[in-house]
Amino acid sequence: MRTVSVILRRTALVLTAVFVCGGLLFALGYAFEDPGGGMAVLLAAAVVVPLAALTVLAALRRRLAPRVLAVAVGLYAVWAVIGLFVDLVDAPDLPIIALVLALPIAVVGLTYALRAGALLVVVAAVPFLSLASILVRESGHEGPGLGDLFVGSTGVVVIPLLALAALLLLAGALDRGPAADHGLPADQPLTKV
Protein backbone atom coordinates (compact mmCIF):
# COMPACT_ATOMS: atom_id res chain seq x y z
CA MET A 1 0.00 0.00 0.00
CA ARG A 2 2.90 2.32 0.65
CA THR A 3 3.95 2.16 -3.01
CA VAL A 4 0.43 2.99 -4.19
CA SER A 5 0.35 5.92 -1.78
CA VAL A 6 3.65 7.27 -3.12
CA ILE A 7 2.39 6.93 -6.70
CA LEU A 8 -0.86 8.73 -5.82
CA ARG A 9 1.01 11.56 -4.08
CA ARG A 10 3.39 12.07 -6.97
CA THR A 11 0.61 11.80 -9.53
CA ALA A 12 -1.38 14.43 -7.63
CA LEU A 13 1.65 16.73 -7.59
CA VAL A 14 2.37 16.37 -11.31
CA LEU A 15 -1.27 16.80 -12.32
CA THR A 16 -1.63 19.81 -10.01
CA ALA A 17 1.51 21.42 -11.45
CA VAL A 18 0.27 20.93 -15.01
CA PHE A 19 -3.22 22.19 -14.12
CA VAL A 20 -1.97 25.23 -12.20
CA CYS A 21 0.57 26.26 -14.82
CA GLY A 22 -1.93 25.86 -17.65
CA GLY A 23 -4.67 27.69 -15.76
CA LEU A 24 -2.45 30.58 -14.75
CA LEU A 25 -0.99 30.95 -18.23
CA PHE A 26 -4.51 31.06 -19.62
CA ALA A 27 -5.64 33.65 -17.05
CA LEU A 28 -2.53 35.80 -17.35
CA GLY A 29 -2.87 35.72 -21.13
CA TYR A 30 -6.11 37.63 -20.71
CA ALA A 31 -4.36 40.08 -18.39
CA PHE A 32 -1.76 40.84 -21.04
CA GLU A 33 -4.52 41.31 -23.63
CA ASP A 34 -6.97 43.50 -21.74
CA PRO A 35 -5.13 45.92 -19.47
CA GLY A 36 -1.75 45.10 -21.02
CA GLY A 37 1.49 46.91 -20.31
CA GLY A 38 2.64 47.64 -16.81
CA MET A 39 -0.66 46.63 -15.21
CA ALA A 40 -0.39 43.16 -16.73
CA VAL A 41 3.16 42.80 -15.44
CA LEU A 42 2.01 43.80 -11.95
CA LEU A 43 -0.84 41.28 -12.11
CA ALA A 44 1.56 38.57 -13.25
CA ALA A 45 3.94 39.40 -10.40
CA ALA A 46 1.04 39.36 -7.93
CA VAL A 47 0.35 35.78 -9.01
CA VAL A 48 3.81 34.37 -9.67
CA VAL A 49 5.64 35.72 -6.60
CA PRO A 50 3.27 34.20 -3.98
CA LEU A 51 3.06 30.97 -6.00
CA ALA A 52 6.85 30.64 -6.11
CA ALA A 53 7.34 31.67 -2.47
CA LEU A 54 4.73 29.25 -1.12
CA THR A 55 5.95 26.41 -3.33
CA VAL A 56 9.57 26.89 -2.22
CA LEU A 57 8.41 27.05 1.40
CA ALA A 58 6.44 23.82 0.95
CA ALA A 59 9.46 22.08 -0.57
CA LEU A 60 12.09 23.28 1.90
CA ARG A 61 10.21 23.69 5.20
CA ARG A 62 7.93 20.67 5.22
CA ARG A 63 6.92 20.91 8.88
CA LEU A 64 6.17 24.63 8.78
CA ALA A 65 4.45 24.66 5.39
CA PRO A 66 1.15 22.98 6.42
CA ARG A 67 0.59 25.63 9.10
CA VAL A 68 1.47 28.51 6.79
CA LEU A 69 -0.79 27.13 4.07
CA ALA A 70 -3.62 26.58 6.55
CA VAL A 71 -3.38 30.27 7.49
CA ALA A 72 -3.26 31.21 3.79
CA VAL A 73 -6.38 29.13 3.11
CA GLY A 74 -8.10 30.81 6.07
CA LEU A 75 -7.22 34.25 4.69
CA TYR A 76 -8.49 33.11 1.30
CA ALA A 77 -11.84 32.18 2.87
CA VAL A 78 -12.01 35.55 4.62
CA TRP A 79 -11.26 37.28 1.28
CA ALA A 80 -14.14 35.35 -0.30
CA VAL A 81 -16.56 36.38 2.45
CA ILE A 82 -15.53 40.03 2.14
CA GLY A 83 -15.93 39.71 -1.63
CA LEU A 84 -19.57 38.77 -1.14
CA PHE A 85 -20.31 42.23 0.25
CA VAL A 86 -17.74 44.42 -1.50
CA ASP A 87 -16.59 44.11 -5.10
CA LEU A 88 -12.86 44.07 -4.40
CA VAL A 89 -11.48 43.11 -7.81
CA ASP A 90 -13.06 43.09 -11.25
CA ALA A 91 -11.55 39.71 -12.14
CA PRO A 92 -12.00 36.03 -11.27
CA ASP A 93 -9.89 36.43 -8.14
CA LEU A 94 -11.11 33.36 -6.24
CA PRO A 95 -10.22 30.83 -8.95
CA ILE A 96 -6.81 32.48 -9.46
CA ILE A 97 -6.04 32.41 -5.73
CA ALA A 98 -7.19 28.78 -5.64
CA LEU A 99 -4.65 27.97 -8.34
CA VAL A 100 -1.90 29.83 -6.49
CA LEU A 101 -2.60 27.83 -3.31
CA ALA A 102 -3.07 24.45 -5.04
CA LEU A 103 0.53 23.82 -6.11
CA PRO A 104 2.18 24.41 -2.71
CA ILE A 105 -0.55 22.30 -1.10
CA ALA A 106 0.24 19.48 -3.54
CA VAL A 107 3.93 19.77 -2.62
CA VAL A 108 2.93 19.42 1.04
CA GLY A 109 0.94 16.38 -0.06
CA LEU A 110 4.19 14.56 -0.78
CA THR A 111 4.81 14.56 2.95
CA TYR A 112 1.37 14.99 4.56
CA ALA A 113 -1.27 13.65 2.18
CA LEU A 114 -4.28 13.86 4.50
CA ARG A 115 -3.58 17.44 5.53
CA ALA A 116 -2.95 18.50 1.95
CA GLY A 117 -6.08 16.74 0.71
CA ALA A 118 -8.21 18.45 3.34
CA LEU A 119 -6.70 21.86 2.53
CA LEU A 120 -7.31 21.31 -1.16
CA VAL A 121 -10.96 20.45 -0.49
CA VAL A 122 -11.35 23.74 1.38
CA VAL A 123 -9.58 25.64 -1.41
CA ALA A 124 -11.99 24.13 -3.94
CA ALA A 125 -15.02 24.75 -1.73
CA VAL A 126 -14.41 28.47 -1.24
CA PRO A 127 -15.16 29.67 -4.81
CA PHE A 128 -17.98 27.13 -5.14
CA LEU A 129 -19.69 28.31 -1.94
CA SER A 130 -19.11 31.94 -2.86
CA LEU A 131 -20.81 31.48 -6.23
CA ALA A 132 -23.58 29.42 -4.63
CA SER A 133 -24.29 32.22 -2.15
CA ILE A 134 -24.43 34.75 -4.99
CA LEU A 135 -26.81 32.41 -6.81
CA VAL A 136 -29.11 32.28 -3.78
CA ARG A 137 -28.85 36.01 -3.11
CA GLU A 138 -29.48 37.05 -6.72
CA SER A 139 -31.96 34.36 -7.70
CA GLY A 140 -33.76 36.68 -10.13
CA HIS A 141 -33.29 36.79 -13.87
CA GLU A 142 -30.17 38.95 -13.72
CA GLY A 143 -28.08 36.76 -11.38
CA PRO A 144 -26.07 33.69 -12.26
CA GLY A 145 -27.93 30.48 -13.02
CA LEU A 146 -27.52 27.04 -11.51
CA GLY A 147 -25.29 25.97 -14.39
CA ASP A 148 -22.81 28.71 -13.46
CA LEU A 149 -21.77 26.68 -10.43
CA PHE A 150 -19.94 24.23 -12.68
CA VAL A 151 -19.05 26.23 -15.78
CA GLY A 152 -16.93 29.30 -16.18
CA SER A 153 -13.75 29.96 -14.26
CA THR A 154 -15.15 28.69 -10.97
CA GLY A 155 -16.27 25.29 -12.20
CA VAL A 156 -13.18 24.83 -14.33
CA VAL A 157 -11.07 25.24 -11.20
CA VAL A 158 -13.27 23.58 -8.58
CA ILE A 159 -13.90 20.22 -10.24
CA PRO A 160 -10.23 19.36 -11.03
CA LEU A 161 -9.12 20.55 -7.58
CA LEU A 162 -11.65 18.23 -5.96
CA ALA A 163 -10.34 15.33 -8.06
CA LEU A 164 -6.76 16.15 -7.05
CA ALA A 165 -7.82 16.42 -3.41
CA ALA A 166 -9.40 12.98 -3.71
CA LEU A 167 -6.04 11.56 -4.89
CA LEU A 168 -4.29 13.02 -1.86
CA LEU A 169 -7.00 11.88 0.55
CA LEU A 170 -6.85 8.37 -0.90
CA ALA A 171 -3.05 8.35 -0.53
CA GLY A 172 -3.40 9.44 3.08
CA ALA A 173 -6.06 6.82 3.75
CA LEU A 174 -3.81 4.11 2.31
CA ASP A 175 -1.07 5.22 4.70
CA ARG A 176 -3.33 4.92 7.73
CA GLY A 177 -3.48 1.13 7.78
CA PRO A 178 0.22 0.26 7.43
CA ALA A 179 1.32 3.26 9.53
CA ALA A 180 -0.91 2.20 12.38
CA ASP A 181 0.54 -1.33 12.21
CA HIS A 182 4.07 0.03 12.63
CA GLY A 183 3.19 2.38 15.50
CA LEU A 184 3.70 5.50 13.38
CA PRO A 185 1.38 8.52 13.40
CA ALA A 186 -1.34 8.34 10.75
CA ASP A 187 0.09 11.15 8.61
CA GLN A 188 3.77 10.27 9.00
CA PRO A 189 6.01 11.94 6.43
CA LEU A 190 7.02 9.70 3.54
CA THR A 191 10.17 11.67 2.84
CA LYS A 192 12.91 13.14 4.96
CA VAL A 193 12.10 16.52 6.42
Higher pLDDT: 97 or 34? It is 97
Report the alpha-carbon distance of residue 95 to residue 91 in Å, rounded: 10
Q: CA-CA distance, 78 to 97, in Å (whole number)? A: 12
Query: Whole-model pTM?
Result: 0.83
Handedness of CA 171, 109, 74, 157 (dihedral sign): negative
The domain spans of the chain are 2-181
Helix axes 2-33, 152-181, angle to 10 degrees: 160
For 144-192, the pLDDT digits (tens) are 555 656 666 677 888 899 999 999 999 999 987 544 434 344 455 555 5
Segment 101-117, tens digit of pLDDT: 999 999 999 999 999 99
Which distant-in-sequence residues (6+ apart) come within 8 Å of 150 by Cβ? 158, 159
Q: How confident is the model at residue 44 (pLDDT cuts 50, 70, 90)?
A: confident
